[in-house]
Amino acid sequence: MSARSKARKRALDILFQSDIRGEALPVMLAAEAKRAASEPAREASWLYAREIVDGVIDHGEEIDEQIVTHARDWRIERMPAVDRAVLRLATWELLFNDEIPAAVAIDEAVELAKEYSTEDSGAFVHGVLARIARS
């Protein structure tokens, strides 16, 4: 697994925990930063995970607006929490990280959704992100 794939998984964990626990993302990020300081071997994945979460913090309203606009009749609060987290991290990559090709961001997000969410989540995430990428 590449460092960026590991980082996406770490970012997903932070986004998901924040959502489920009702904790602010900066608080969850600070807690993870403390933990990451004791794991120097995982620094590469931590740095990109932090970049993703910082990006979601900085652009959260715009990211959620894009998700809602392209989710077709799905309110964001009705989506499974894992799907919300996956969509937020991948939407940040699509809109704000020019280093990641859209196809890579979408494929990685679909794999995360398939692994951690419902049976239908991979197709749902793919559809939403493909529409965001085309817009």
- For 56-80, how does the pLDDT look when each residue is reduced to its tens digit (9 = 90+)? 999 999 999 999 999 988 999 999 9
Instruction: Give dist(CA 20, CA 116) in Å, integer.
Output: 14
Averaged pLDDT for residues 76-88: 96
Instruction: Give dist(CA 105, CA 32) in Å, integer.
Output: 23
Given a cut of 80, is residue 91 above it in pLDDT? yes
What phi, psi does 102 have (nearest 5°)?
Answer: -55, -40
Instruction: Give dist(CA 95, CA 31) in Å, integer.
Output: 27
What's the CATH code of the domain at 103? 1.10.940.10
Domain count, the chain: 1
**Boundaries of domain holding 41:** 3-134
Q: What is the pLDDT of residue 40?
A: 76
> At 82, is the pLDDT very low, low, confident or very high (cuts 50, 70, 90)?
very high
Averaged pLDDT for residues 86-94: 98
Amino acid at 2: S
Q: What is the pLDDT of residue 73?
A: 87
Given a cut of 80, is residue 1 above it in pLDDT? no
Rounded to two decimals, what is the model's pTM? Answer: 0.94
Q: What is the pLDDT of residues 23-62, one digit of tens each?
A: 999 999 999 888 888 877 777 788 999 999 999 999 999 9
Q: What is the mean pLDDT of the chain?
A: 94
Given a cut of 80, is residue 114 above it in pLDDT? yes
Q: What angle do the packed helices 25-37 and 43-70 form, to 10 degrees? A: 160
Look at phi and psi of residue 118 and say left if phi exceeds 0, alpha if psi is from -120 to 50, else beta: beta
130 by Cβ neighbours in 10 Å (0-12 / 13-18 / 19+) ranks as middle
